[in-house]
Structure 1
Amino acid sequence: MKAYWQLTLAQLRIFARNRQVLFFTLLFPIILMLTLGSFLGNSGGTSITMAVVDQDGSQESKQLLSTFENNESIQLDKRTDVDEALDELKESDYQVVMEIPEGYGEQLQSHTDESEAFDLPVYYNETDATASELGLTVVNAAVDQVSKNIEDYSPAVAVEAEGVRALDLGYIDFLVPGIVAMMIMNNNMNGVAGQISAWRERGILRRMQGTRLKASTFIAGQITARVILNALQAILVLIVASLLFQVQVNGSWLALLTFVVLGTLAFMAIGFIIAGLAKNPESAGPIAGFASFPMLFLGGVFFPINSMPEYLQPIVHILPISHLSTALRETMNVGIPFFDLWHHWLTLAAWLVVAFFIASRTFKWE
């Protein structure tokens, strides 16, 4: 245990003494966020343009419409033709189109515990992922409130309004979680690959192997130091974003930090694989860059994943950074609970297990 803490502290001292490491791990993400946020982040909140086609015309459908009309973040248009509304949706005139079919009011009036839920068709524009996600969230919240009223729940108007206000998103709200995901990838995948390769070439790993130090203790110390560094860096970025751009964490801080730890471990494992494959530090850098550069554009760091071409979607949805950036974004912006994001943390955990297994086979002390 003593050796473990000594290795952890030694790694943190190495970070602190290297000015280039401090710049690229601490200041560069903040500078990038300030640059993009200053130009794009203060352009105002996301405005949802929504069309509703009320084919029922009942008192219940009018009450549902009033819910959207009273929402300041929604520009509501009442339309009479679904096909025309969908054509305008394809042309990006709307982000969301909702249809209220005939029989909606009668279904609500005759609803019982055994009755099936009445489906409301909702269409969204996939090319504007951020606004569409917000629009769908608002629609789901309003419809869910209707169900609660039927079941004699007390109306929670204040809670619903707060949730909508919390989702008044701008590009900076989309950008900050992506910046955090980017720094986690660079610090661990690129950083581990370069550092381990350099230590191997200088004979440091060989000398460690000659001592009573266990490989597990060495790796544990590396992990702990980098988890601490990434957690502090993520908190620093979020503090700066909160002070300058009023970016909020609407979800759980514990869930947010859990994803930071999972991302750190997953990308560290990939970094160990690259370090094992690279013959020297000069080759480790290009290999890590070859792997990380495409992820910056395919992983949802700067652009919404859903806006990417259809043929890239299968690749995008298996990349670890796409799951990390999406999980951080949904935790911060939408406030989705940790266990509801199970597919993201399960995918990151799978990357962690598989990558560490491969790293254990490729890692070399000399």
Structure 2
Amino acid sequence: MTPFARLTATETKLFFREPMAVFFTLGFPPLLLVVFGSLPSFREPQDELGGLRTIDLYAPIVVALGIAMFAMTTLPQQFTAYREKGVLRRMRTTPVKPAAMLGAQLLMSTVLSVCTMLVVLAVARLAFDVRLPRLPPAYLVAYLLSAVAMFSIGLLVAALAPTGKSAGAGGTLLFFPVLFFAGLWVPRESMNDVLRTISDFTPLGAGVQSLQDAAAGDWPQLLHIAVMLGWTIAAGGPAARYFRWE
């Protein structure tokens, strides 16, 4: 194994030693989908949604929730905990570079969140007869772009936050607005023009729409791809620049 692969494997093992983090990032999204799907109103076709059911719209939104749980809670707090406990300070004496550390966290989070996505899609299909994405390659591309954009934001919070409490507060402060514009409280289809436009320029708003487009058999729109790439660059660059070992 290369040093980067060993670092990624080690970070993955450490992640699975935290039961609460494992539950909320890997288990909570599928559980929430089951709760939504158990509501009779979510399983009835809606004329204002073009004959779709509400649960059909919420499948990609719950997938986006899984990304946000990783990005806004697990990543920032894990990094700041490493910093406060002196783990990063000791790693500084090794050949490990900040980019490698950030990259290992990014890769681990992306792979694990893909597992969450697959579980959510399986539950949606088997339990609630939600149609699987008609264009799987486009769905995967949309997912990876939105995940990397959100994880970059989470790593930026981790790089800037001086303590674990401030990282948790910063992540929570971003968590709820990002999910609102992703459609967790009000689906994008039910938003007015102003809210939908704002949603288009948020990382998860663009991500959810791209996932819905792929589920319907279309490739993501160029605007949404540009938005997700823009957030990745805008957050990922400063995250590496301001990364602190102690």
The two structures have a TM-score, normalised by structure 1, of 0.63
Which structure has more strand as a fraction of its residues? Answer: 1
Does 1:357 pair with 2:237? yes
Equivalent residues of 2:134, 2:217 under 8 A apart: yes
Match of 1:335 among 204, 217, 224: 217
Q: Quick one: which amino acid aligns to residue 160 of structure 2?
A: L
Shift of 1:337: 2.7
Match of 2:132 among 242, 245, 249: 249
The aligned residue for residue 150 of structure 2 is: 267
Shift of 1:8: 1.2
Equivalent residues of 2:64, 2:182 under 8 A apart: no
Does 1:22 pair with 2:22? yes
Match of 2:87 among 204, 215, 227: 204
State the distance in 1 between where 2:46 and 2:189 align. Answer: 17
> CA offsets per residue over residues 263-288 of structure 1, 9 Å max, x none?
22111111121112211001111111
The aligned residue for residue 62 of structure 1 is: none
**Superposition RMSD in Å:** 1.9
Shift of 1:311: 4.9
> CA offsets per residue over residues 82-118 of structure 1, 9 Å max, x none?
xxxxxxxxxxxxxxxxxxxxxxxxxxxxxxxxxxxxx
Equivalent residues of 1:175, 1:302 under 8 A apart: no
State the distance in 1 between where 2:179 and 2:142 align. Answer: 18
> CA offsets per residue over residues 11-39 of structure 1, 9 Å max, x none?
22123222112211122111111111110
Equivalent residues of 1:251, 1:337 under 8 A apart: no
| Distance 1:306-1:242 versus aligned 2 partners, 3 A rule | closer
Shift of 1:43: 3.2
How many residue pairs were aligned?
246
The aligned residue for residue 94 of structure 1 is: none
Equivalent residues of 2:25, 2:66 under 8 A apart: yes
Shift of 1:41: 5.9
| SS of equivalent residue, structure 1 residue 212 | coil
Q: In the TM superposition, what are the counterparts of 1:248-327 in structure 2 within 5 Å?
A: 248-309=131-192, 311-327=194-210
State the distance in 2 between where 1:316 and 1:240 align. Answer: 27
Structure 2 gap ranges (5+) = none
The aligned residue for residue 12 of structure 2 is: 12
The aligned residue for residue 347 of structure 1 is: 227
| Distance 1:323-1:311 versus aligned 2 partners, 3 A rule | closer
Q: In the TM superposition, what are the counterparts of 1:75-90 in structure 2 within 5 Å?
A: none
The aligned residue for residue 232 of structure 1 is: 115
| SS of equivalent residue, structure 2 residue 88 | helix
| SS of equivalent residue, structure 1 residue 216 | helix
Equivalent residues of 1:37, 1:172 under 8 A apart: yes
Q: Quick one: which amino acid aligns to residue 272 of structure 1?
A: L
| Distance 1:40-1:330 versus aligned 2 partners, 3 A rule | farther
Off by >6 Å, runs of 4+ in structure 1 = none
The aligned residue for residue 75 of structure 1 is: none
| Distance 1:43-1:225 versus aligned 2 partners, 3 A rule | closer
Which structure has more helix as a fraction of its residues? Answer: 2
| SS of equivalent residue, structure 2 residue 39 | helix
The aligned residue for residue 71 of structure 2 is: 188
Q: Quick one: which amino acid aligns to residue 343 of structure 1?
A: L
State the distance in 1 between where 2:134 and 2:119 align. Answer: 18
Q: Which has the higher contact order (CA 8 A, sep 6+)?
A: 2
Identity of aligned residues (%): 30
| SS of equivalent residue, structure 1 residue 210 | coil
| SS of equivalent residue, structure 1 residue 17 | coil
The two structures have a TM-score, normalised by structure 2, of 0.92
